[in-house]
Structure 1
Amino acid sequence: MWGVIGIMIFSHTLIYYCWICLTYYEGRFPYPSGVSDIIPFFARMGKHVVEGASPTWYACMIYWAFLLFEAFLQYVCTGVMVKGLPLEHEGGRQLVYNCNALQAWYITLGLWVYLQWSGLFPWSTLMHHYGPLLTASVISGNAISVFSFVIAIATGAQFRMSGNLVYDFFMGASLNPRIGSLDMKMFAEIRISWMLLFFLTTSCAAYMHEVHGTVSWPMLFLCLAHLFYANACMKGEECIPSTWDIFYEKNGWMLIFWNFAGVPFVYCFQSVYLAKVAGPIEHSSWYTITLYVILCTAYYIWDTANSQKNHFRMQQAGTYIKRPWALPQLPWQTLKDPQYMTTDRGSKLLISGWWAYARKPHYAADLTMSLCWGLICGFGSWVPFIYFAFFFTHLMHRGMRDNERCAKKYGKDWDRYLAKVPAQFVPGVF
């Protein structure tokens, strides 16, 4: 219980502390000057939040207009109908997902461009109201967490409960809460977090142009990086129902808060740093070009590795559907003759494509991209590297968890698999 309380407190503290660093201390980490300064230090931090991040009706309106617009698109856009994995606690029932995030993404992008072009809502508006928007997202994430938990208990949708109220609130009560055809967990994980991240970063670019009259190559780098990530999530939405987050992890505070607040507002701190602190900095040509090349290479490996794994699963289940309009269509994203190892349980473990070289090639590529997000900002502050440090810890924990889970699940077959694919991340390196 105390562990999850600590995580919830730390999550709120991290978001606001980093925002304070960038807004009031030019990216430096403020700290008490001594024991006698501890209480005044916290008073100063609280004053910064009250002065610069108090929620406003306008910020709440912007945030909820975005949520409701995306929810509307979820209901009205046609998409690929995909069945999820069988749910053991519901007798093997398979939920059906209307995967229309790509259509919603294209519509939202078109509207975003129109709002800037017409002057109705300049992109820089998000940066001008960043503090209040951050708090609006924090309040919303917490409120939706409480609402989801209470509704699950009230309707008897809870399962796999520990009996500890705080822990169950953190982990969630229900697996797949829905409002009609809208799956709240997948909706938040795919559309809200990554779309909002991209729009916040483009807002930072617009703010930089507004203040300095130019947009630097590092800022364009982050726009490209976040476009890569958001677009990949939208075009690959039909692969998501078979992932661990959707078919096993319940919809608790951990997922809800980070999807509605943590991911978009913490992951864009590099962009905020460039917009508000560093300004239009430029690095040497070789440094910048090298990072662009590494980013594009890592993105290609990450996208195609995820596609290979999920397309293989869908091919085995007979649910794979080609979508040539989901751009970009990358070479080697679908294996024509995938090689696999069959376990005694009947499961098939992919051992070809990128998965012949490592058990977590997508993690290695993901970490590489996250490091590039920090490196492009230079070394004037450590704040741009907080995302990489957080993500590194998260993926290392998830990798160890998956190893333990698979060893228990497959037994000797897992040992055979490790003999075929011994590397976890990068063969011979990591």
Structure 2
Amino acid sequence: MAARQRNSHTPDLPGQWAKESASRITNRFTDGVSNEFEFGGPVGAVLLMTGFPLLMWYMWIGATYYDGMLPFPDPGQSWPDFICHLCQLVYEGAYPSAKAWAIYWTFFIMEAVMYCYMPGVWNLGRPLQHEGGKRLLYYCSAYCSFYATLAIIIVLHVTRVFPMYTLIDEFGPIMSVAILSGFLNSFIVYIRAIVRGRTHRLSGSVVYDFFMGAELNPRIGILDFKMFYEVRIPWFILFLITCSAAARLHETYGYIPAEVIFLAGAHYLYVNACAKAEQMIITSWDMYFEKLGFLLTFWNMAGVPFTYCHCALYLANNDPSEYQWNPYKLALLSAMYIFFYWMWDSANGQKNAFRHKEKGQLVKRNTFPQVPWQAIENPKTIETDTGDSIMVDGWFAIVRKPNYIPDMFFSMCWGLITGFRSPFPWFYFLFFMVMIIHRTKRDINKCRRKYGEAWARYEREVPYLFIPYVI
């Protein structure tokens, strides 16, 4: 259902953490060859490129054929026979059919067209030092594209031209198409960069450069592929899969369970927030420094939408009686979720408004929802030697990472709503917790190096990272 050089107030849109593992801790912005390797270098890249799809197929097999449990050999079954059995299941249930190719790529092309022609706003990216300080212009239309997509899907479902539950019924084949498309698009971008002479910071290893990327900002016209992949493909698909689960359950039982409504609402808030604040990712690490390679491409096209969705897949594959919540507990969880959403959205809003206003490119949009305390007028700041300033106001005067705790809560809820019977709905939560702990440690060290005494003063004024008087 997915690493940036930033301080605690650099724009950090919801969902962007999914690509944190793709980012490099480096301050090198020059062209030429880089001898810095991550992820174990070329060997690690090969292992990850093979491990990602195998993990996805393995999780799908467990969710589909093993009642949500981890697949293991039967007593007396050898491992080679077991592996052959798993391969047979993938061939039978997840073969990339022509129908699956048509579904995935119709969606992909439709979203690309919407990117270019739906109403949106323009904004400038950060100066690119390797291009003499040039600032790229970005077109942000994800918000209108999201609601146009929903309108189209509703019409197709109601008219039975394309029933929404088809995504659940064809999940295996569509996932396989997404996996193959991730590889295909990665090859196209890599070869295109070499042919056009647009390579940047190459390592000297073909495998590693294919994995991490060869070109910084691959584009066709106004269509920037990193911007396109960041929001539309992974998060739109995730929400549509959840809606598909709801449609399948309604078709089967004649109603939509409250737990599925909760998850659909949670995913809607998340995806809507990504879309409405799309222009805020322009100055992020992914946009101005991270190259588009296999890691970002595959994780966006296949990894995020087809692994983070296992909570919805579990709800769709099991009888509602197996995960039914007490109505009062579910109401309490929903109220807590709304509170944390407000905290998360307003904290991101305060940070993004402060930083973009500082750069003179704040774009105020009439998007839904406009939550209270979304921006701070004339915030209190700490000046730094770098020319930047650190906001010490709003949520950031209470804790230094106010948007992290809500994100942790969201990831926990997506698993919690399914119960504890299957491990697969908890993949997102476990992945996120490992990532966020690593990122927090790295960000702290980076800010201490970059801002020196100014950051030390901020830590004295706001001593807690996540929860006041606790941590």
Map 1:3-42 onto structure 2 (within 5 A).
Answer: 3-33=44-74, 37-42=78-83
SS at match of 2:87: helix
Cα distance in 2 for residues equivalent to 1:304 and 1:231: 14
Deviations 1:294-336 (A, max 9, x none): 2212211221111111111111111112212x11111111112
Match of 1:340 in 2: 381
Q: Which gives a bigger RCO, structure 1 or 2 (Cα 8 Å, sep 6+)?
A: 2
Q: Determine whether 1:241 maps to 2:282.
A: yes
Aligned partner (choices 215, 219, 233) of residue 178 of structure 1: 219
Q: 1:276 to 1:36 in 2, by over 3 A?
A: closer
Aligned partner (choices 171, 179, 183) of residue 130 of structure 1: 171
Q: Determine whether 1:303 maps to 2:345.
A: yes
Contact 1:291–1:376 (CA<8 Å) still a contact in 2? no
Match of 1:291 in 2: 333
Cα distance in 1 for residues equivalent to 2:75 and 2:436: 35
Q: 1:171 to 1:418 in 2, by over 3 A?
A: farther
Cα distance in 2 for residues equivalent to 1:379 and 1:221: 17
Given residue 181 of structure 2, which amino acid in structure 1 is its aligned partner?
Answer: S
RMSD between aligned alpha carbons?
1.6
TM-score relative to the length of structure 2? 0.88
Map 1:367-386 onto structure 2 (within 5 A).
Answer: 367-386=408-427
Match of 2:133 in 1: 92
Cα distance in 1 for residues equivalent to 2:463 and 2:50: 38
Percent identity of equivalent pairs:
42
Cα distance in 2 for residues equivalent to 1:34 and 1:250: 47
Q: Determine whether 1:323 maps to 2:323.
A: no
Given residue 294 of structure 1, which amino acid in structure 2 is its aligned partner?
Answer: M
SS at match of 2:318: helix
Cα distance in 2 for residues equivalent to 1:284 and 1:396: 32
Match of 2:466 in 1: 425
Q: 1:297 to 1:5 in 2, by over 3 A?
A: farther
Q: Determine whether 1:227 maps to 2:268.
A: yes
Aligned residue pairs: how many? 429
Given residue 405 of structure 2, which amino acid in structure 1 is its aligned partner?
Answer: A
Map 1:390-401 onto structure 2 (within 5 A).
Answer: 390-401=431-442
Q: Determine whether 1:272 maps to 2:304.
A: no
Deviation at 1:34, TM superposition (A): 6.9
Cα distance in 2 for residues equivalent to 1:303 and 1:251: 28
Q: 1:13 to 1:122 in 2, by over 3 A?
A: same
- The structure in which a higher percent of residues are helix is 1
**Runs of 4+, deviation exceeding 6 Å:** none
SS at match of 2:362: coil
Match of 1:78 in 2: 119
Contact 1:374–1:384 (CA<8 Å) still a contact in 2? yes
Cα distance in 2 for residues equivalent to 1:364 and 1:71: 33
Between 1:344-353 and 1:408-417, the stretch displaced more is 408-417
Q: 1:91 to 1:220 in 2, by over 3 A?
A: same
Q: 1:94 to 1:202 in 2, by over 3 A?
A: same
Contact 1:311–1:334 (CA<8 Å) still a contact in 2? yes
Cα distance in 2 for residues equivalent to 1:56 and 1:374: 30
Match of 1:214 in 2: 255
Deviations 1:266-291 (A, max 9, x none): 11100000101343542112321122
Given residue 289 of structure 1, which amino acid in structure 2 is its aligned partner?
Answer: A
Map 1:130-169 onto structure 2 (within 5 A).
Answer: 130-169=171-210
Cα distance in 2 for residues equivalent to 1:39 and 1:404: 46
Given residue 430 of structure 2, which amino acid in structure 1 is its aligned partner?
Answer: A
Contact 1:27–1:277 (CA<8 Å) still a contact in 2? no
Cα distance in 1 for residues equivalent to 2:76 and 2:198: 49
SS at match of 2:403: helix
Contact 1:101–1:234 (CA<8 Å) still a contact in 2? yes
Cα distance in 2 for residues equivalent to 1:163 and 1:410: 33
Given residue 99 of structure 1, which amino acid in structure 2 is its aligned partner?
Answer: C
Gaps of 5+ in 2: 1-40
Cα distance in 2 for residues equivalent to 1:177 and 1:48: 37
Cα distance in 2 for residues equivalent to 1:60 and 1:37: 35
Deviations 1:212-246 (A, max 9, x none): 22211111111001100110011001111012222
Deviations 1:14-39 (A, max 9, x none): 21111111100111111235796221
Gaps of 5+ in 1: none
Q: Determine whether 1:312 maps to 2:354.
A: yes
Match of 1:68 in 2: 109
Contact 1:78–1:98 (CA<8 Å) still a contact in 2? no
SS at match of 1:22: helix
Deviations 1:72-131 (A, max 9, x none): 111112311111111111111111111111111121111111111222111011111110
Match of 1:201 in 2: 242
Q: 1:36 to 1:83 in 2, by over 3 A?
A: same
TM-score relative to the length of structure 1? 0.96
